[in-house]
Every structure is written in structure tokens, then in C-alpha cells.
A and B are shown apart, each in its own frame.
Chain A
């Protein structure tokens, strides 16, 4: 089981801020995870449609889309940050 966190408009489109999922065996990278999540609901699909606008953190560190997710506890999915 893995914990997924969603923020900002990703959270709004998916309709929740967190979910826990068991991932299929073939889902081993961030890209594969996003492909899988996009099949879960129309909201997930809408949130993840524009991959260029999606940023990922694994266990609170930014990662790229080819990162492995094997040891992840918590994966956060969100738009580019706009603080400061």
C-alpha cells in the first residue's frame, strides 16, 4: 500500500486530498503510476491529463518522472509550486 497526496488543482480535480492504494505489479515508475492513476476516475484523468504541469515528490523530495517508486511510502502529486 502506498499513500498518495494531492494538492491545489490536482486535489480539486481528483476530489480528494489523499488516498491509499495497492499498485499493480507493473507500476514501478512515476510515469507508470500516473498512467495507472489516470484510469481510476474521470477526475483522476482530468487532473493528470497535462503531464507537463504535474510535479511529483516521493517522501517529501522532488523527483523526475522516470524515478522508481519501489521504496516510496508517500507520493505527492501537485502543480508547479507558486509560493514566495
Chain B
């Protein structure tokens, strides 16, 4: 199964990936993606607001879709909320499979869907200025390509 967590705390991507394979010999591939806060244009902090009940439900639903679509052997999805600083990890998708193809595809699918279906909103701080991040149509396009297999 794919474990999903929404939390304020930081995570250890290496430890999460290692935990997927611990004690098993059937896993041949782990793909791990970590999203980090970039200090674009003087960004000083990034605050993620979310809709807790819906977030948990949507991420679990996205994970269940990935599980049904590819031959996976395990996975962990973590998305943080709250105030983050440049360099902080925001999101982790770590996927285990027997072979790399399914792991790469499922990890990319999960990230594209998290971007467009999980109810999070980013607000950027630049010094005293605050601005809500606008959604990108490129993210919608990236998610849409998974709808036509």
C-alpha cells in the first residue's frame, strides 16, 4: 500500500525511502522525489494553507489510483503544511516496485495529481509582502496527460 501523511513537521527522504525496502527482497526499484522551497526572487518564506479533511481524502484517493494502475510494492507520500523556509522540503513521493518503469511513472503521476487535486494553497513572503501563488496551466496540462493512457 501507499502510506499518505499530511504534516507540519519536516521529513527525512532518505529514511522514508529506506523504510520501504527494509526487510524485503522483492523490491528492485525505489523512485523518490522531494520538492523543496526555492528562494525565487527574494522569497523569504512559503506558507501552505490546506483543507485538512479534504487533503487527507484526496491524497489517499490519488494514492489508491496509482496503486491500481501500476504494479507497485509500496510507497510513501508526505505533504507538509504551515510556514516553510527556502531549502525546506515540502513534499515527498517515494515509490517502490520490482522494476523502475512503474516506479518512475507512478511517482510522476502522483506529483502531477498532487499539484492539481490536493487542496493546498501557497502564499509567498518576500520581506513584508505576501502574495498567493497563482495556479499554472502547465500543471493542469501535466496532470491531464495521465487521463489518456
Chain A residues close to B by CB (< 8 Å): 5, 7-9, 57, 60-62, 76, 78-84
Contacts and interface: CB of A to CB of B under 8 A. Distances in A.
B15 interface: no
A82 B54 contact: no
A7 B53 contact: no
B79 A78 contact: no
Centre residue among A7, A9, A60, A78 by max chain B CB count within 10 A: A60
A8 B133 CA distance: 10
B135 A83 contact: no
Please report whether the interface of chain B is mostly helix, strand, loop or mixed according to DSSP: mixed
B51 A5 contact: yes
B132 A84 contact: no
B111 A7 contact: no
Interface stretch (B16-24, B64-72, B98-106, B112-120): B112-120
Given A7-B50, A9-B132, A81-B115, 20 more contacts: A7-B51, A7-B119, A8-B121, A8-B123, A8-B132, A60-B53, A60-B58, A78-B121, A79-B132, A80-B134, A81-B120, A82-B134, A83-B48, A83-B50, A83-B91, A83-B114, A83-B115, A83-B122, A84-B114, A84-B120
